[in-house]
Amino acid sequence: MSASFSNKEPFSSWGRIDRRLYPVARPRFAADLAKAIAAPDRPASVLPVGLGRSYGDSCLNAEGGLIVMTGLNRLIEIDEQGMVMRAQAGLSLGEALRVLTPKGLFLPVLPGSQFVTLGGAVANDVHGKNHLKNGTFGRWVRRIGLQRSHGPALSLAPDDPSGLFAATMGGFGLTGAISWVEIGLAPIGSAFLDAEDIPFSSLDEYFQLMAESETFEQRVAWIDCTRPGRGVFTRANVRHDGNFQIGPARPALSAPLDGASFLFNGVTLRAFNFAYAAAHRASVRPVHYSKFYFPLDAVGDWNRLYGARGFRQYQCVVPEGAARDAVHEMLYLIARSGEGSMLAVLKAFGPKPSPGLMSFATEGHTLALDFPNHGERTLRLMARLDEIVLEAGGRIYAGKDGRAPARTFQRMYPRWRELERMRDPAIRSDFWSRVSAT
């Protein structure tokens, strides 16, 4: 039953711009996955998806069906001595942490949400606030299971000579369904971090703080887009107090209704101003991992607050040398447009190479912010940001994007044809159709 495609389930990406009904298969066991992807009666194309936290169209397939992987959420093995975990790809990072934390172990790289599957983390080669120390998620992956539409289940390691491992890291799920993931773990002394907030009033101060905070594993800045240059720099290290309290499985609050973006912006800005003021009184505060890594997860479905038209996210990276000018130019452009969210996130990527053919993270600084969807107006602004990024020799985070034209994308990711060659012919996404057009 779970290997076959049901009729019409609603699905959308996190940005909620394109909402529609899909034929959906929900495999619960490894054998179901093999059947779903190779079934003779499956839709003309399929796309394996996780928890739908990608913002754009990389988890959408308007011309076919979806294989929702979240039923394959079992742990397979944890080697506590060897610090390795193997689990089915539909397991969420948050659920993994709830099992790992009491053992004094942790995932070495975490994105901004716990509601991301292991498979999704591999497919986007995600990064965190500790890229300078640990690089991307994919650097810690020891082995993956890959189920393609033809042939046997594969087990791939980083030294895989076919190139399929590298194509699958940050490969947007296009090379096959990632069935399980084996990843190295990091030891922790606590579920809490010591975090320090430092206010700054210019980009120069941000770059200085980033450079002089070498002893801090976690480094991130929040920028006030209404007054570019002003922000709060947060740096943190894991505590060693032996308190291994686990995080919540579900959000504490739920978005009350669609389209309260005024409320959202009001609340985030007030929270920011509060943090900004508090930061002046400075001090180190203990903060639980769930609050530190996943601040937005506290409100379930916060994406609904952007209303019926949804929103877009823009994230780019620009190389170190060009970063100062490019970030400055982007922030002023956004502030003048009045289109952006009130807050942007700015952080640094270190020199550790990403393992994927199409991985986003490259050395430099990365800026991320939301845009409520105002149609053409929003697209024009994002196209101008693309020009600044290209000029600076940077690239956008394709897994978050849902609109860059093929020409732009192909200039940023010149190796895209190698992924196209290794794509599973049964797999298609709206994203890949858009960016691989010639």
Partner 1 sequence: MTRPIARRVIILGAQSAIAEAAARRFAAEGSRFVLVGRDLARLNEIAADLRVRGAAACEVEALDLVEARDPRGRMRAWVDTLGGISLVLIAFGVLGDQEEAERDLHALDRLLAVNFNAPAVWAATAAEIMMAQGGGTVMAIGSVAGDRGRQSNYAYGAAKAGIGVFMQGLAHRLAPSGARAVLVKPGFVDTPMTAGFAKGGPLWASPDQIGAAIWRAADKGGPIVYAPWFWRFIMLIIRAVPAFVIHRSKL
Nearest distance from C-beta of residue 256 to partner 1, angstroms: 15
Structure-block tokens of residue 349? 């990527």
Residue 35 CB partners (closer than 8 Å, separation 6+): 3, 27
Q: Does 76 bind partner 1 (CB under 8 A)?
A: yes
- State yes or no: residue 39 binds partner 1 (CB under 8 A): no
CB of 321 to partner 1, least distance (A): 46
CB of 195 to partner 1, least distance (A): 28
Q: Return the ∠ at Cα 269 (arms to 362 and 221), rounded to 5°.
A: 25
Q: Does 425 bind partner 1 (CB under 8 A)?
A: no
Binding segment toward partner 1, per CB under 8 A, in 3-11, 169-177, 281-289, 414-422:
3-11
CB 88 → partner 1: shortest distance, Å? 8
Nearest to partner 1 of 85, 419 (CB atom): 85
H helices, E strands: number in the chain: 13, 21
Number of alpha carbons in the 13 Å side-chain half-sphere of residue 413: 27
Closest separation between CB of residue 6 and partner 1, Å? 5
- Is residue 18 a contact partner of residue 62, using CB atoms and an 8 Å limit? yes
19 part of the interface to partner 1, by CB under 8 A:
no
Q: Which CB sits closer to partner 1, 111 or 145? A: 145
Of 138, 144, 88, residue with least CA distance to 117: 88
Q: Is 410 in the site for partner 1 (CB under 8 A)?
A: no
Told to check if 74 binds partner 1 by CB under 8 A, we report yes
150 binds partner 1 (CB under 8 A): no
Question: Could you say whether residue 29 binds partner 1 (CB under 8 A)?
Answer: yes
Looking at residues 97 to 126 of the shown chain, list those that interact with partner 1 (rule: CB under 8 A).
Answer: 99
Taking each helix axis from N to C end, the angle separating 376-391 and 320-337, rounded to the nearest 10 degrees, works out to 160
Cβ distance to partner 1 smaller for residue 75 or 198: 75
* Contact status: 152 vs partner 1 (CB under 8 A): no
- For residues 241 and 391, give the distance between their C-alpha atoms in angstroms, rounded to a whole number: 47
Query: What is d(CA 266, CA 260) in angstroms, rounded to the nearest whole number?
Result: 10
**55 touches 312 (CB < 8 A):** yes
The answer to the question of residue 9 lying near partner 1 (CB under 8 A) is yes
Q: Which is nearer to partner 1, 2 or 237 (CB)?
A: 2
Residue whose C-alpha is closest to residue 361's, from 133, 159, 128: 128
**CA–CA separation, 426 and 44 (whole Å):** 7
- Cβ closer to partner 1: 78 or 379? 78
- Is residue 77 within the footprint of partner 1 (CB under 8 A)? yes
What is the SS3 assignment for 169-202?
Answer: CCCCCCCCEEEEEEEECEECCCCEEEEEEEEECC
Residues 183-242 that bind partner 1 (CB under 8 A): none
User: Residue 438 burial by CB count (10 A; 0-12/13-18/19+): exposed, middle or buried?
Assistant: exposed
Of the residues 30, 84, 333, 379, which one makes contact with partner 1 according to CB under 8 A: 30
Tell me the β-bridge partners of 284.
196
**Which span sits near partner 1 by CB under 8 A: 1-9, 263-271, 310-318, 370-378?**
1-9
Check: CB of residue 158 under 8 Å from CB of residue 141: yes
Q: How far apart are CA 61 and CA 332, in angstroms?
A: 35
- The region of 4-12, 113-121, 227-235, 271-279 touching partner 1 under the rule CB under 8 A is 4-12
Q: Alpha-carbon distance 56 to 316, whole Å?
A: 14
Tell the smallest beta-carbon distance from residue 76 to partner 1 (Å): 5
* In the complex, minimum distance from the CB of residue 16 to partner 1, in angstroms, rounded to a whole number: 15
Query: In this chain, which of 26, 42, 53, 139 binds partner 1, going by CB under 8 A?
Result: 26
The Cα–Cα gap between 366 and 25 comes to 36
Using rule CB under 8 A, residue 345 touches partner 1:
no
Binding mask 239-278 for partner 1 (x = CB under 8 A): ----------------------------------------
- Rank residues 43 and 372 by Cβ distance to partner 1 and give the closer one: 43
DSSP classification of residue 152 = P
| 75 in contact with partner 1 (CB under 8 A) | yes
- Give the interface with partner 1 as residue ranges (CB under 8 A): 1-2, 4, 6-7, 9-10, 26, 28-31, 71, 74-78, 88, 99
